[in-house]
């Protein structure tokens, strides 16, 4: 009888720990890294798919981790404009489709009250990657580079 109580208590404690620590032993971990590989450069990314999140993007954030990016998954292949409304830091913007990198804007600046820049590629894309300003130059990324997306289907 005591052995059963100990086993049930142990299982209960482990279950409570899983709940409070947000551990899901039978599911893929949420912190699985999504990665965009451009040439030989691997970039861990936050993936954005929902319309509300596509509109928000990095607006209002103070910064972006130096070696990370935000990947926008567009609802369809299109010429997608991006603007810098409420941005607090400069970024590089990289448009991607199945051919690879199709357009790049380097050093998209912080807007002023009288000027909110909008950037529009000359080719249709399926994804747009935003990284910190200078990332493209530092990693020598260019139009035509091959891209591999390793993102969860969620």
> Are the beta carbons of 100 and 144 closer than 8 angstroms?
yes
Quick check: 130 pLDDT over 90? yes
As a whole number of angstroms, the distance between CA 98 and CA 72 comes to: 14
In a domain, 136, yes or no: yes
DSSP codes of every residue in 31-90: TPPEEEEETTEEEEEEEE-SHHHHHHTTTT-S---TT-EEEEEEEEEE---EE-TT--S-
8 Å CB contact between 135 and 117:
no
The distance from CA 122 to its chain's CA centroid, rounded to whole angstroms, is 23
Per the domain annotation, does 62 fall within a domain? yes
Give the CB-side neighbour count of residue 98, counting CA atoms within 13 A: 3
Q: Is residue 51 part of a domain?
A: yes
| Predicted local confidence at residue 52, as pLDDT | 64
Note whether residue 139 is domain-resident: yes
Do residues 60 and 84 lie in contact, with contact meaning Cβ atoms separated by under 8 Å? no
pTM metric for this prediction? 0.75
Q: What is the pLDDT of residues 32-87, one digit of tens each?
A: 579 999 999 999 998 988 766 666 667 766 778 888 999 999 989 999 998 888 88
pLDDT score recorded for residue 24 = 41
Write the CATH number for 96.
2.60.120.1140
Name the residue with higher pLDDT: 62 or 136.
136
Q: Which residue has the higher pLDDT, 50 or 134?
A: 134
Q: What is the pLDDT of residue 82?
A: 87
Domain contains 8: no
pLDDT digits (tens, 9 = 90+) for 88-100: 888 999 999 999 9
Within a domain: 80: yes
* Domain assignment of residue 100, given as a range: 29-150
Domain count, the chain: 1
User: What is the band of 117 on the pLDDT scale with cuts at 50, 70, 90?
Assistant: confident
More confident residue, 46 or 154: 46
Residue 4 domain-assigned?
A: no
């Amino acid at each position: 009888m005591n052995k059963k109580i100990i086993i049930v208590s142990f299982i209960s404690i482990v279950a409570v720990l899983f709940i409070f620590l947000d551990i899901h032993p039978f599911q893929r971990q949420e912190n699985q890294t999504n990665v965009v590989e451009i040439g030989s450069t691997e970039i861990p990314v936050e993936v954005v798919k929902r319309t509300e999140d596509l509109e928000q993007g990095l607006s209002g954030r103070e910064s972006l981790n130096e070696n990370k990016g935000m990947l926008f998954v567009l609802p369809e292949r299109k010429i997608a404009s991006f603007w810098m409304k409420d941005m607090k830091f400069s970024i590089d913007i990289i448009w991607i489709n199945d051919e690879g990198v199709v357009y790049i804007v380097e050093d998209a600046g912080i807007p002023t009250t009288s000027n909110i820049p909008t950037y529009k590629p000359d080719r249709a894309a399926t994804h747009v990657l935003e990284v910190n300003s200078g990332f493209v130059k530092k990693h020598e990324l260019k139009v035509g580079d091959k891209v591999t997306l390793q993102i969860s289907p969620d």
